[in-house]
Amino acid sequence: MKTTETKTDTKVPRPGRSAGILLHPTSLPGPYGIGELGPEALAFVEFLEKSGQKLWQILPLSPTGGDGSPYSSYSAFAGNPLLISTERLVKDGLVSGAEENPDGPVDYPAVIPAKTKLLREAYGNARPGKEFDAFVEEQSGWLEDYALYMALKGKYDGRAWNLWDDGLVKREPDALEKARRELAGEVRYHQFVQYLFFDHWTDVKEAANEVGIEVIGDIPIFVSHDSADVWARQSLFHLDDSGSPTVVAGVPPDYFSETGQLWGNPLYDWESMERDGYSWWVERMRMALTLYDVVRIDHFRGFEAYWEIPADAETAREGRWVKGPGKDVFRALEDGLGELPIIAEDLGEITPEVEALRDELGLPGMKVLQFAFSGPDNAFLPHEYGDANWVIYTGTHDNDTTAGWWRSADPEGRSFARRYLGKEYVSVPDFIRLAYASVAEKAVVPMQDFLELGPEHRMNTPGTTEGNWSWRLEESALTPELAKRLKSLSETYGR
């Protein structure tokens, strides 16, 4: 196995006007039930190049739970084992083969045990050497806690860390040392899985960068309570003596939900983080910038003010706005890491204070065309942008597909869209063309919209827990004709 690097020397040129596709790796086609970081990912990079696209936007690469949500993870630093390439494991002689699954949506209850069995076989056949040891040493700042946390989750049948033995909950040194000795094999297994993930992802990202494609990644502002991050750094979160959150994150009633969204993530103790120089955030962003060329921060508005909900509340309605750290955390990031290639996800209930913070930091915000057609003064309409410091989308992973949205749009919105586009018969390609033609520096379109797919193909429906994160692309969809059409769009509008 070749050396695994978590940060490459390949630097993709920073484009001016550019365009690309939103497609998470789990949605790639392939024979093993889920998209992987193998030939299918490299084929998609080749498709992007042939299509004249310079951007590949993905969702968080973090490990996921049984529902597949990349926004609910056991670690803000680790990679998703489900993405490890089966074909790479076979090629490297670590497994003899794997049972192929039919194409179709990701069936997480089937995929997770199948991939786990495969990774166990790979670990049993591997003879990790100096490259693995170097990886473990380089990434020890997060990997040591993560691997022990995952080993302990196995020992405790998946229970949350605050339900473990008291000495482990409170991270008493003797209890931790005993666990490391007893679970040394399991700890090493989880380290090895991360070694594989970073090896495979590095190959994919290097391939993209070598042909001038930037990878736009995504990090949620908050982390999961049941995660190595919270277990290892409890003083940075609002927790009680038992390790349970006292207040949790969410958003008030909005476009997506009449009762708001009760996310349940523990909230940061920003005063504690400030005393520590925001070092956890610096390290988190450092890792993000090894995985991605540009980082989209989900729920950017939480840095200005966040919705604080009592941990025992039944809905998000019971929350309140609390001031966040504002620019201080970003100044700490700049001091530690230099210029930050960040996109601010500034959707939802955005106040002038949030806009002022985004603008003071010079960060591009997001414009979503599905939100635009209420009237001529709507800020999401391209003629309202004012400057180019934006990323325009037809829709996001949280929206319906544009075909589904257009079918169900209210009559007034449809009428205004027709007037705005100057067409009586409007279709999905018209909205894509509007995005590419806009002044926004970056234009990103979900793969489903290029294929004009309906609502049954959407990636996520906020506020629901079933049927999400499972959509997959059919291999036959990436045709030369589609690549030619996308390349023409990019060339026509200087992207």
User: Which of 87, 226, 298, 400 is an active site residue?
Assistant: 298
User: Which of 214, 398, 400, 449 is an active site residue?
Assistant: 398
Q: Distance between CA 278 and CA 283 in Å, rounded? A: 9
User: Which of 87, 293, 304, 345 is an active site residue?
Assistant: 345
Q: Distance between CA 358 and CA 344 in Å, rounded? A: 7
Interacting residues of 309 by C-beta distance below 8 A, sequence separation 6+? 247, 248, 249, 250, 262, 316, 318, 319
Strand 247-251 and strand 305-310: pairing? antiparallel
Residue 340 backbone dihedrals phi, psi, to 5 degrees: -110, 115
DSSP letter for each residue of 402-459? HHHHHHH--HHHHHHHHHHHT-SS--HHHHHHHHHHSS-SEEEEEHHHHTT--GGG-S
Q: Is 334 a catalytic residue?
A: no
Interacting residues of 154 by C-beta distance below 8 A, sequence separation 6+? 186
Q: In what order do the strands lie in the sheet with 214-220?
A: 342-344, 294-298, 214-220, 55-57, 18-22, 442-446, 390-393, 365-368
* CA distance between the termini of the chain: 38
Q: Is 345 a catalytic residue?
A: yes
113 three-class SS: helix
Q: Distance between CA 194 and CA 75 in Å, rounded? A: 12
Task: Say how many C-beta atoms besides its own lie within 10 A of residue 185's C-beta.
Answer: 9
DSSP E strands in 39-170: the ranges are 55-57
What does the radius of gyration of the chain's CA atoms come to, in whole angstroms? 22
Residues with catalytic roles: 298, 345, 398
